[in-house]
Amino acid sequence: MTRKDWKKIVAARDLLGLAEKATLAEIKRAYRRMSKKHHPDMAASRPGDEQPVAMHEITTAYQLLLAYCRDYRFPLVMQQDSLDPEDWWFDRFGQDPLWGKQREE
């Protein structure tokens, strides 16, 4: 993934107000929340609120994050350090009761 692609993902994450790590359910909830808040029919009825975001921008951000999660299933931030496979596994599944057994050091 290129730096340009990461910038798009970070922009989409920021637009939807997501944390660095987000589940698919959190992405969907953020999309629905933003859609309701910035829908043209709803935004017009609340004068004085912040500038509404175009619905196509919200939908594009949502579709980009869904495609990213479908293809990669990684956190929504660029990783600066590379982990060895065991550390990668425990970073993602260490809290899981089935897969997160105590590491042998």
pLDDT at 93: 67
How many of the other CB atoms lie within 10 Å of CB of 58? 23
Q: What percent of the chain has pLDDT over 70?
A: 57
Give the C-alpha separation, 22 to 17, whole Å. 10
Map out the domains of the chain with their CATH numbers: 3-93 (1.10.287.110)
Give 10-residue mean pLDDT values along the chain (105 residues): 86 92 88 87 62 84 88 61 67 62 54
pLDDT at 80: 57
pLDDT, one tens digit per residue, over 66-75 is 888 877 655 6
